[in-house]
Amino acid sequence: SLAPTAITCFTRGLDLRKGTEDVLCPANCPLWQFYVFGDGVYASLSSICGAAIHRGVITNAGGAVRVQTLPGQENYPAVNANGIQSQALARWASSFSVTHTKNTVLEAVGRSVSTARPSTGKRPKKPLDKKAGNKDCKADIAFLIDGSYNIGQRRFNLQKNFVGKVAVMLGIGTEGPHVGVVQASEHPKIEFYLKNFTAAKEVLFAIKELGFRGGNSNTGKALKHTAQKFFSLENGARKGIPKIIVVFLDGWPSDDIEEAGIVAREFGVNVFIVSVAKPTTEELGMVQDISFVDKAVCRNNGFFSYQMPTWFGTTKYVKPLVQKLCSHEQMLCSKTCYNSVNIGFLIDGSSSVGDSNFRLVLEFISNVAKAFEISDIGSKIAAVQFTYDQHAEFSFTDYTTKEKVLSAIRNIRYMSGGTATGDAISFMTRNVFGPMKDGPNKNFLVVLTDGQSYDDVRGPAAAAQKAGITVFSVGVAWAPLDDLKDMASEPRESHTFFTREFTGLEQMVPDIIRGICKDFLDSKQ
């Protein structure tokens, strides 16, 4: 059997030439950048390695995969599996499936890989560049420790020991995790920030020096304060790296923690709760809200809560907690392009479009919107239809679920009339994006038109871009290329799209989604 062909993280099914091919996926692909469409049978524009991880054929450690080319189909479903959210696609011309390769190939790979790096039995002791730290665990972490009378001085010291062990095992360093500590008591106190120390030794010393404050635990107050104040760039937070708060709770919180959890999610912070000594049956009457853990964590899926019976003998709990904190792809509350953008669609409703083509335009918009996580704290969608006039179909704040947005798009009625694209862009910048300009999301405008505008588009598009809106122009049929380029953001080539027929819009969906995500990531670097 032939050795498998090495491919990159982003090689797609349609890049392969043979009907069946064995390939070798690299290790440590960035999961959040994968584009995968479908489940089991994947549209050929999906990443092969992404599909293989999604299917469970390999993990993020890479490995050999057998790829089988299949005919195209309709309705590829969106499914979340193994840390990857695949996306739905209405139809695509070809597909593929992924399976394990035959054993002989795996053995060959196993040998070639294991000669390339030391066997895991006894690793040479010095692979970690001490200063750089653990590069596989990039995270900005705030340890929110309990400094209340509830825990007392003795258990407070045991808590410090545990946090110190976690900090050391994380592999703190300039290019690895950075940590800081906040103490929850009557009033929260930020003990040290992410930027203060980048070596484990220094962090350990700073933790040892922490004094016990006492007072009520007021965990909710401390969590809210940490989410709002701790992760600023001037305090050492890094762009595009997961923000995590690990809340240590002895017993139960003395104040409301639910609102603080919502604030943390709005700020893109992943909250973990480590609860020690759960309230006993007799104590439950004193707890304001017995489901306090579920309400504060990033997601109530079991991953973000962690329990220890007491503060004694906690060493065995260090490693599993560190593994969670380093699972980049599980940080569901981090800001990603899917949950942190506002996309406004500007739809040409002029008489040259016609009713049946207008339906194809709406289908295109739905397929783009579908890829994003729409919610009150996530991504938002707005739509304006224009002729000589503009009609705001719905604004960013009208609908906060994907179902409602898709239903609103389906219900848009075709206007018919002239084409004043420039005026429409100005309307959109002022009335639709205006109210969102200080919000946390990045703003995108997708202009769809099928003809020449009667007014100037260059000025209004430049004003939109100056207001922080990234513009994609999508032209169909008679839309002049010069107009499309004049409207599009830089680099113009990657923000301008054109198709001769309305049926060609569908093929552009993945490219628009990818373009939005690329711009989002670039803005975070």
Tens of pLDDT along 27-81? Answer: 888 776 678 899 999 998 889 999 999 999 998 888 999 999 998 888 899 888 8
Query: Among the three residues 37, 70, 100, which one is the final residue of a domain in this structure?
Result: 100
Q: Same domain, yes or no, for 322 and 430? A: no
* CA–CA dist 401, 379 (Å, integer): 10
Query: Is the predicted pLDDT of residue 281 greater than 80, yes or no?
Result: no
pLDDT computed for residue 8 by the predictor: 83
Under a CB-based contact definition with an 8 Å cutoff, are residues 83 and 329 in contact?
Answer: yes
pLDDT digits 0-9 by tens, 388-442 = 999 999 999 999 999 999 999 999 999 999 999 999 999 999 999 999 988 889 9
DSSP 27-43: S---GGG---BEESEEE
Same domain, 358 and 316: no
Let me know whether 165 and 288 are in one domain.
yes
Question: Does residue 486 form part of some domain?
Answer: yes
Q: What's 481's domain CATH number? A: 3.40.50.410
Long-range contacts of the stretch 279-288 (C-beta < 8 A, 24+): 279/251, 279/252, 283/251, 283/252, 286/252, 287/252, 288/252, 288/253, 288/255, 288/256
In a domain, 125, yes or no: no
Cβ atoms within 10 Å of 11's Cβ, excluding its own: 19
Q: Residue 376: its pLDDT value, please?
A: 81
pLDDT of residue 284: 61
Say yes or no to pLDDT of 383 above 50.
yes
Instruction: Band the pLDDT of 525: cuts 50, 70, 90.
Output: low
Does a structural domain hold residue 173?
Answer: yes
pLDDT mean over 447-462 = 96
SS3 139: coil
Q: Is residue 124 part of a domain?
A: no
Mean pLDDT score of the chain: 88
In percent, the amount of the chain with pLDDT more than 90 equals 58
Q: Are residues 358 and 445 in the same domain?
A: yes
pTM higher than the cut 0.85: no
Residues 405 and 325 in one domain: no
Lowest mean pLDDT among 189-198, 204-213, 330-339, 422-431: 330-339
Query: Same structural domain for residues 203 and 316?
Result: yes
Residues whose CB is less than 8 angstroms from the CB of residue 98 and which lie 6 or more positions away in sequence, other chains included: 42, 48, 51, 52, 55, 57, 65, 66, 67, 68
Residues whose CB falls within 8 Å of the CB of residue 385, separated by 6 or more in sequence, listed in order = 347, 348, 349, 391, 393, 412, 415
pLDDT tens-digit series, residues 104-149 = 333 333 333 333 333 344 444 445 567 888 888 989 999 999 999 8
Q: Find the domain containing 204 and state its range.
A: 140-330
Report the range of poorest mean pLDDT among 7-11, 172-176, 363-367: 7-11
Q: Is 138 helix (H, G, I), strand (E, B) or coil?
A: coil
- Domain identity same for 168 and 217: yes
303 by Cβ neighbours in 10 Å (0-12 / 13-18 / 19+) ranks as middle
Q: Extract the tokens encoding 105.
A: 């190939």
Same domain, 504 and 368: yes
Domains: count for the chain: 3
User: Six-digit token pair at 14?
Assistant: 């349609």
